[in-house]
A and B are shown apart, each in its own frame.
Chain A
Amino acid sequence: MSLTLDEVKHIADLARLQLTDEEMQRYQQQLSDILDYAARLQQLDTSQIAPTANMLVERLALRPDEAAHGLGLADLLKNAPQSEQRQFRVPPVLE
C-alpha cells in the first residue's frame, strides 16, 4: 500500500492540518509502511464476525433526562483565545 503525495495532501486537508512539504513527504513514507503492516488483517476471514465498537454496549442503560446545572458562561469563556461580549470571537464566516 503506497500513498501518493496527493493522497497525503488530501488527508491533511480533511484533518485540517497545515503540514510542511517535508512533513508531507515523511508521512507519505511512514503512513505507507504502517498501512502495509496493517494489510495483514485482510488475511482473516471476518465475514461472520460482528464488529466491536465498544466494550460495554450490553451494559449501557438509559437514564432519566433531568436538567442539571453545567458550567457557567464565565468558565466556558475562560480559556477562549479570543472572546468579546460573552461570545467566542471568530472571523466573518458569511460575506
Chain B
Amino acid sequence: MNTELTGLTLTQSLDLLRQGQLSSLELTRACLERIEARNPALNAFLTVTTGLALQQAEAADRTWSAWRKDSSISLPPLLGLPLAVKDVLAVKDVRCTCGSRILENFIPPYSATAVERLLAAGVVILGKTNTDEFAMGSSTENSAYGPTRNPWDTSRVPGGSSGGSAAAVAASLAPAGLGTDTGGSVRQPASFCGVTGLKPTYGRVSRYGLVAYGSSLDSVGAFAHTAEDIALLLGQMAGFDRRDATSANVPVPQFGPDGRAGFKGLRVGVPAEYFIKGIQPEVEQCVRAAIEQFKNLGAEVKEISLPHTEFALPVYYLIAPAEASANLARYDGIRFGLRENADSLGEIYRLSRGAGFGPEVKRRIMLGTYALSAGYYDAYYGQAQKVRTLIKRDFELAFEDVDVIAAPVAPTTAFRFGDHSEDPLAMYLEDVFTLPANLGGVPGLTFPVGFDQQGLPVGMQLMGPHFREDILLQSAHIYQQNSDWHRRYPQA
C-alpha cells in the first residue's frame, strides 16, 4: 500500500484528498516511511523534517475536514501534498547546509519566497535534499555529505546539482521536489533520473532565500512525475517579489493543461548544434523518436540553427565562477558559518574558507577571482558577457520562427561515480546542452522520452521564449498523454 501511495502524482493525490479517500497524514507517513527505508542507500535527503511534516499534514487534514463541513471556506490549492526541498533554499528554522561544511550548522531565520508561497498553498515539507556544494556540479559528487545515488542504478550518479530532489522523486520518496538550475542543475538530473523537471524563465520565480551562486543565472525550479504536476507547483511559486530586485513583474498565466489533445499549429525547432559528434547514439535516437511523435501529433518540425551554442560552455565557466567568487565572499567566519579561530581577521577569513569549502567551490572561486582581476577583466569576463549577448540573440532570432526548441538534455545517460571527478573540464562538458538556456534566460523543461540499452532513462528538453513556460508544460503534457515513459519507476 505504501509503495502505491508514494507513487501517486500530485494531481492524483489531490483528487483522492478532495474525495476524502486519502488523508495528508497517510500520504506523508507513507513518504516518511519510504525515506527511512530507502534513504540510507540513496542519500537523497540530508535532513528529514519528520516532526514538522507530521504537524503540517495534521493541520492540512483539519482544513480538509472543515472544508467538507463548509465548502465555502477557502481551500489552499496544494493542501496536504508532500514536497522535498533542495538544501540551497531556506526553510525557516530548518538547517540549510548547501551541501557544504561551511554551513553545517546554519539555521536560516526566514524562508525563501518560493518555499513561503508553497507553504501558504498548503504543502507539507518532508525535508532538505542533497546537492553539489553550493549547487556547483553535475553529479552531486561534490556534496560534503556524500553523493546521492541514482535509483535506476546505484553505481551511477543522479546528475546534479539538484541530484537529491531528482532521486527522491524518481525513487518515490517524495511526489515532487524543488531544485535550482544555474547551468542545468534541474534539467540534467531530471533526465538522468527519468523524471520531469522545469527551469523557469530567469526572474519568473523569486530568488529571495535561495543561497546565491551565479545571480544572473540562478533560477528556482521543480521536479515531479508529470508536467501537469509541475504546472501546479509553478503556478504557486511564480510571480513578482519585491524582495528580489531581479524578479519579473509579469502576469502569471494558467500553466496547466489547456484542453488541447494534439500539436496542431505548434512549430518545433530542432537545432543542428545540439546533435554533435560524441553524443551517445541511444540519446539521439530517443530524442529523434520523440520529435517524430510530436510531428505525428500535428506539430510542424523544422531544422534551426543556434550558431553560438559551442561558446556557451566557455562563457558560462567564466561568468558563473565570477559571480560565485563575489557571492561567496560572504562566508567569512564572522556572521554565520564555520569559523576557524586565529589572531587576526585576515587569518580567520583565510582559514575558515580554506577549511569550509570543498575542492570544486575553491576551484570556481579561484577561476572567478582570476577572471575579474585587474588586467584580465576585459579579456575574460568582459568578453564572456559580450558573447552571452550573441547566445541570447540566437534564441531571440530562433523564436521568431518557432514556438519551442527540442533538444537532448545531456550528451549521455547517467555516468558512473568517479568517471569525471579527476577532470573538471570533462565534467563541465556534461552541461553543453543545458547552459545556453541559462545564458539566454529562457525556460527549459525536461521529460523522459525513452531508455538506453542499460535501462537508464533518456530525457528531452523543450526550450521556449521568455515567460512561456505555459507552452512547454502544455506540450509536455500532451506528449505524456501519448507516452508512458514517465510512468516507469525504478524497481524496489
Contact = CB atoms under 8 A, between A and B. Distances in A.
Contact of B343 (A23, A37, A55, A91): A91
A46 B390 contact: yes
B353 A53 contact: no
A52 B318 CA distance: 13
Interface in A71-95: 71, 75-76, 78-82, 88, 90-91, 93
Interface string B206-222: 00000000001000000
Contacts of A12: 366
Interface string A1-44: 00100011001101111110001000100110111011011101
A16 B353 contact: yes
Interface in B241-259: 242, 245-246, 248-250
Contact of B336 (A23, A38, A79): A79
B334 A17 contact: no
A55 B334 CA distance: 33
A90 B107 CA distance: 21
Given A19-B354, A38-B317, A59-B248, A91 B342 contact: yes
B385 A56 contact: no
A55 B348 contact: no
A63 B245 CA distance: 10
In this complex, the interface size class of chain A, counting residues with CB under 8 Å from chain B, is 35 or more
Interface residues of B, number: 70
Interface of A is mostly: loop
Contacts of A60: 245-246
A46 B216 contact: no
B216 A53 contact: yes
Contacts of A93: 345
A12 B357 CA distance: 13
Contact of B366 (A27, A41, A44): A27
A50 interface: yes
A29 to B, nearest CB: 10
B350 A44 contact: no
Given A17-B353, A38-B314, A91-B348, A78 B107 contact: yes
Contact of A31 (B337, B345, B348, B363): B363
Nearest to A71: B109
Interface stretch (B40-48, B79-87, B367-375): B367-375
B388 A52 contact: yes
Contacts of A19: 354, 362
24 contacts: A7-B370, A12-B366, A17-B357, A17-B362, A17-B366, A18-B353, A30-B363, A30-B424, A41-B314, A41-B318, A41-B383, A42-B383, A46-B389, A51-B382, A51-B385, A51-B386, A55-B441, A56-B441, A59-B248, A59-B250, A60-B245, A76-B335, A79-B337, A91-B345
Interface of B: 105-107, 109-110, 202-203, 216, 242, 245-246, 248-250, 311, 313-315, 317-318, 325, 329, 332-339, 342-346, 348-351, 353-355, 357, 359, 362-363, 365-367, 369-370, 373, 379-380, 382-390, 392, 424-425, 428, 440-441, 466
Given A17-B350, A40-B311, 12 more contacts: A7-B370, A14-B373, A17-B365, A40-B314, A41-B383, A46-B386, A49-B387, A51-B388, A61-B249, A81-B334, A82-B339, A93-B345
